[in-house]
Amino acid sequence: MFKKKPTASEVDGVQYRRAKTWQIICYACNALVGMSVYSLIGMASYSASIGYGITTAAVGIILTCTRILDGITDPLLAFVYDRVNTKFGKLRILLIAGYLIEALALYGMFTGFSSKGLGLVAFTLLYVVYVIGYTITNMTAQTIPAIMTNDPRQRPTLGVWTTAFNYLVPMVMSMVLNVVLLPKCGGTYNQAFLTAACNITLIVAAIGTLLVCLGVSAFDKPENFVGTKKAEPLKMADIVEVLKHNKPLQCYIASNASDKLAQQVGSQAIINTILGGIIIGNIALGTILTVISMVPSIFFAAFGAKYVGKHGSKKGIVNFTCISMVITAVMIVFFLVIDPKQIGVMGSPAMIIYVILSLLQNGSNMCITTSNTSYMADAIDFELDRSGRYIPAVVSGTYSLVDKLITSFAAVIATGAVALLGYTATMPQPTDPCTPAIFWMAMVLKFGLPIIGWIITLIAMRSCPLSKEEMVNVQKRIAEKKAAAQSEFYKEQLQ
């Protein structure tokens, strides 16, 4: 007779909370907000140049400075997060408010005020408002996984759905924008294209916001935001204290910030234009090939979740990072030994090999992302165990502050590198000729930087104490402390 597999609660001796599958899927729809906007904001350099007449070098500086501002506003949101308590909840109010601010700024930046003769000041102010809205939306979303479930088997499942949506949404957006919309607008980035891209993005993001609110409604209650000791108003010193004493968070900052810097440099629209349009020579086909290689690799995330559920978030990050390094190194060698233009020829051996390597690369990267989602929730619970305070916005905000101070240089690295190639007053277009300098710049930014980031990850994770076994102990201690705190509360009520 078939024997039912014991649950994580039965195995670990901890009463874990769990979310329903539909709630997890709705939460993952946050990608409709974050990744659609991410696809649009990647074209901010084009908007600045076309709509506001700002030079390439100035664009890089503006995007870098506003990114630093973005990092500063993240931990400050923790104070807002801590104080928002309404009859409609905390999470939903913040998610909707963040979207509305973000949407107004993006509409003004790409459509409302673009190509109206306004200059640097107008673009910068709109970008600052966008940063504020993005901060509210993104930081609130980062706190949700830890609130929805603490089951070590289910937490990676959130990562699977999140990873799948985080990859699918930009893929679909890329297809819609580069394969469908761009040719209709003359094949170049112009004001008509930017306006249409903005309108599509805002509609997709609005749908995503509503779905996330639906998914978190059952958890958006005051009792889910309490710690194991009496809550006190947050102070700036709390952020410093968390950063100083939360060792898993320190490791995560070093690991993920370096990876994200490389990812954001490589995902800039100008870098993708160079790789797909100039080096491969067929930006539409290049986009299609990326999608073809991405869709099957999403199934890798499910494997990654099972692995993380069994071996823990830390081990998942380390092992899948090693795999990604090897595959990316092979990708560099591949570009060196073949004529990259052959990748743009439908059905060629070069195209097939490129798709296979991209599939493996995307798959291993998805497993890392799945591990990271689970790890951040673990770091939040580690802080609850360590300090007795449930402060998810402080933990995620502290991470985001340092992360964005580092990744703020993504835009300036990309635009600076392109400026070194001679693009000082204009941006790269798919029809430009390929030179050795352009080729090597693309190889370094697209593949070299990620390898450096992964080396930093492996070094950082060596000193991380958050193994699977330790996380079980963390959850046991939290449960015991909460039970003791509740017992003390009842005693005070009876006296």
Confidence grade of residue 1 (pLDDT, cut at 50, 70, 90):
very low
Summarised one tens digit per residue, pLDDT across range 172-203 is 888 888 778 888 887 777 888 888 889 999 99
For residues 146 and 471, give the distance between their C-alpha atoms in angstroms, rounded to a whole number.
Answer: 13
pLDDT digits (tens, 9 = 90+) for 274-283: 877 788 877 7
- Residue 226's pLDDT band, with cuts at 50, 70 and 90, is low
Cβ contact 29:165 at 8 Å: yes
Per-residue pLDDT, 324: 92
Beta bridge partners of 86: 89
pLDDT top residue among 189 and 494: 189
Name which residue leads in pLDDT, 85 or 126: 126
Percentage of the chain lying above the pLDDT 90 cut: 16
Higher pLDDT: 259 or 325? It is 325
Has residue 134 got a pLDDT over 80? Answer: yes
Helix, strand and coil content of the chain, in percent to the nearest 5, comes to 80, 0, 20
Q: What is the DSSP string of 461-493?
A: HTT----HHHHHHHHHHHHHHHHHHHHHHHHHH
Residue 494 pLDDT exceeds 60 = no
- Contact criterion met (CB below 8 Å) for 114 and 47: yes
Average pLDDT, the chain: 81
Q: Are 90 and 221 in contact (CB under 8 A)?
A: no
Please indicate whether residue 100 or residue 264 has the higher confidence score (pLDDT): 100
Q: How confident is the model at residue 303, as a pLDDT?
A: 83
pLDDT of residue 485: 65
Q: Is the pLDDT of residue 89 over 90?
A: no
Higher pLDDT, 494 or 390: 390
- Which whole number is the average pLDDT over 287-307? 74
Q: Can you read off the two tokens belonging to residue 175?
A: 């297809």
**Res 29: pLDDT:** 92
Instruction: Give the pLDDT confidence of 38-81 residue by residue, as tens digits.
Output: 888 878 878 887 878 877 667 777 777 776 777 777 777 777 88
Model pLDDT, residue 200: 92
Give the number of other Cβ atoms within 10 Å of residue 453's Cβ: 23
Is the pTM of the predicted complex or chain greater than 0.75? no
Contact 341, 435 (CB under 8 A): no
In the prediction, which pLDDT does 294 show? 66
Residue 94 pLDDT = 92
pLDDT (tens digit, 9 = 90+) per residue, 64-75? 777 677 777 777
Question: Using one digit for the tens of pLDDT, what is the confidence trace for 453-492?
Answer: 899 999 999 888 888 888 888 888 888 877 776 666 455 5
Provide the pLDDT confidence category of residue 2 given band limits of 50, 70 and 90. Answer: very low
Name the packing angle between helices 155-174 and 31-41 (round to 10°): 40
Residue labelled with tokens 């109010």: 93
Reply yes or no on whether the pLDDT at 12 is more than 70: no
To which residue do tokens 């051996």 refer? 349
